[in-house]
Amino acid sequence: MFPLDLASHCRLLFYNRPKHTLLYRWLVLYPLYVLAEIAIISTDLAELLGSAMGLVMLFPKLPLWAGVLITACDVFIILLVGDPLRRQPVKLFEWLIAAMVCLCSDPSFPTSVPISDDAHAPSA
């Protein structure tokens, strides 16, 4: 059994009330729906800007607006490839994620490992 999310739980508890149907909807359901939508929009915006800033840090000549466009296109490609909520493995989706991890890890590797001239000199 999977636990219910907030929207399903509120619908089960408050939607089909024989008395005060409109009161429950206007005082409980609609404000909770608005708050949930605001939370979803703000977390999606944070993910979009965070991914764009990560791309800008990996590729310094890339402007921020281009990072936002690349991230948005990436999200649409992932959504078009397959629905990850079906609970079935989507091999193309998995390969795309693996390629993105390899692509993002390679440019940052040379800058994270310092190489000095003393490392190759013979010890006395």
% the chain with pLDDT above 90 = 15
How far is it, in rounded angstroms, from Cα 34 to Cα 46?
18
**Average pLDDT of the residues in 34-38:** 84
Q: Where are the domains of the chain?
A: 6-107
How far is it, in rounded angstroms, from Cα 74 to Cα 101?
13
Predicted pLDDT of residue 1? 47
% the chain with pLDDT above 70 = 59
7-35 per-position pLDDT tens digit: 677 667 766 666 666 777 777 778 888 88
| Under 8 Å between Cβ of 109 and 94 | no
Phi, psi of 111 (to 5 degrees): -80, -20
| Under 8 Å between Cβ of 101 and 90 | no
Q: Exposed, middle or buried: residue 25 (CB in 10 Å: 0-12, 13-18, 19+)?
A: middle
pTM: 0.52
Asked if residue 116 has pLDDT above 70, the reply is no
N-terminal to C-terminal alpha carbon distance within the chain: 67
* Residues 107, 65, 103: CA angle, nearest 5 degrees: 20
Asked if residue 90 has pLDDT above 90, the reply is no
Predicted pLDDT of residue 61? 92
